Homo-oligomer: A and B are copies of this chain.
C-alpha cells in the first residue's frame, strides 16, 4: 500500500505552466529576465525536497495527536516546531515576502507553486506560513515605519509568526458586528478588550513571538464595518531595543476540536486590556485586513489544490499497487488502476487538479502584473481581471477540491474509510477550505456584486474573448483532442455568455442574482478550468512531440472536457432560473 507519508512535488506541471502553457516564460516576464522558468524549476525542486523530507512525514502525527491545550498553553504535535524552524532557516518565509518588505520577492506564479507544495505536504503546518505571509502583505501595505521596523522585519525573517483576528462569536461573515474595543492610552498605545475566535495558529511555541493583527472598534467610531480599525498586538511586548518584554494581556482560552487540520491550533483568544498599536488609518481597518485576506484567499486555492493532489498521489499509488479482480479488456491480473471506473476516478481527480493548479498560476501571475509596486503594465483591465479571478480561484477550487478528496476515498473502497489509510484525513482536512477566508457564498457575492454587475460584465467578457482566442488556436491544430476541446470550449463559452447575460438581467432583483451567485461562480471556475486545459492542449500541439507527458496532458484535457466542463451547461440552466420563490 502507498505510504501515507510520501509526497512528490508536482514540479513538472509547474515548469510546464511557467514556461509553456501560456505561450511565454511567465517567470522571466515577472522578473524582467532576472529569473527564468529553469531557475523557478530549481526552486520548486528544492522546495519539493524539503517538503517531502521534513513536512510530509509529520502530516499523520499532526492529525492523530493534533495540537493540544494544557494548562493554558498550546502544545504542538511532536516535530512541528522543529519543522517550522527548519522551514524558516531554509529561507522559505523570506522567499515569500515582497522585496518592499525585505523579502526575496519571488514572482506570484512561483509562490502559487510553493503554496501548493507546503499545503500538499502538510496543510496544518502550512497555515502558519500562510497567515504569516498574509500579515506581511498587510503590514507592508499599510503600516507605519515604526511598526515595519519592529514587527514586519521579524515576520519577514521568520523569527515571529502572524495571525489574523477577525471573527467573534457573533461576528463571523458579518464583520460589522465586531464588538472588540480599542481605547487609546496616554502613551499612544491602545488597550484592546474582547474575545476573538477561530484564530488559526493563535498560540504555539514554534516561534519566539506571535503578532496578532486585530480588528477592533474605537470609542465614538461609527457603527458597522466603517468603525473598525486595525491593530498589532504581540504575544510578548517588545522593548525599545527590540528585545522581548513581558507577556501581553492576551490569553488563550481554549482550542477547537475540529473535523480536520488537527495539527493547526485554532484558538479562542481573550484580550483583557492587551496592548496594541494602530496600523494604518483610524477606521481603515477593513481595508488593511482585506490586503491580508486577499492574499489568504488566493492561498486557499493553493491549499485546496495541494490537499487534493496529496489525496490523488496516494490514491494513484494504491491503485497502481493493488491487484483485485479481472480487468476488463486487459490480459492477466492487473492493478485496479486499470479498472475502467478506478481509472475514471483517478482521471477525474488529476484533470481537476491540473485545472486548479493552472488557474492558480494564471491568477497569481495576473495579480503580479496588476500590482503597481512591481512596475505593472499600465492596462487597468488587467487589475480588474486579476480581482475577478480571486473569488473564482478561492471559491471554485475549494468546492471542487472537496469532492476530489472524496473521489480519493472511493478509489480505496472500504480501506478508504479506515483512518490508518490516510485518505480520510484529506477529506476531513479540506472541508474547511470552502469556509474560511470567506465562504463560497462570500466569494460569489464579491464576484457578482462587486465585480460582475459593477462593470456590467465587461471583465467577464474579457475572459470570454480570451477563451475565443484559445478556441481559434485549437482549431489550427490537427490533433483530434484539440478539435474536441475547441468544440467543447466553444459551447461552454456560449453557455457562459448566456448565463452572464441572465445574471446581469437580475440587476434589478438582487435576490435572484444572489440566489444563483454560487452556481455562477462554479460555472466560471469550471469554464476557466476548461480554458486552462485548452491552453495546455494548444501548447502541447505547438511543440508536437510524442513524449508520454504530452499524451497524458491531452488525455487529461479530453477527460476534463467530457466529465467536468460539461457541467457548465447544467449550471447555466440553474443560473437562468434565479431565485426559486
Residues of A within 8 A of B (CB): 167, 170, 172-174, 176-177, 198, 256-260, 324-326, 328-329, 339-344, 347, 402-403, 406, 409-410, 413-414, 416-420, 424, 427-428, 431-432, 434-436, 439-441, 444-445, 510-511, 514-519, 555, 558-559, 562-563, 566-571, 573-574, 576-577, 579-581
Contacts and interface: CB of A to CB of B under 8 A. Distances in A.
A226 to B, nearest CB: 14
Contact of A514 (B258, B328, B410): B328
A431 B403 CA distance: 11
Nearest to A517: B341
Nearest to A581: B555
B439 A413 contact: yes
Given A172-B413, A414-B172, A432-B417, A344 B562 contact: no
Contacts of A576: 562
Contacts of A329: 510-511
A413 to B, nearest CB: 6
Nearest to A174: B325
B555 A574 contact: no
A570 B561 CA distance: 11
Nearest to A518: B341
A390 to B, nearest CB: 18
Nearest to A342: B441
Nearest to A425: B259
Interface-central residue, A170, A439, A444, by most chain B CB under 10 Å? A439
A369 to B, nearest CB: 32
Most B Cβ at <10 Å: residue of A441, A555, A573, A580: A580
Contact of A257 (B340, B402, B418): B418
B566 A570 contact: yes
Contact of A413 (B341, B427, B435, B444): B435
13 contacts: A170-B324, A256-B417, A257-B420, A340-B514, A340-B517, A347-B580, A403-B403, A424-B428, A519-B563, A567-B567, A567-B570, A568-B570, A570-B570
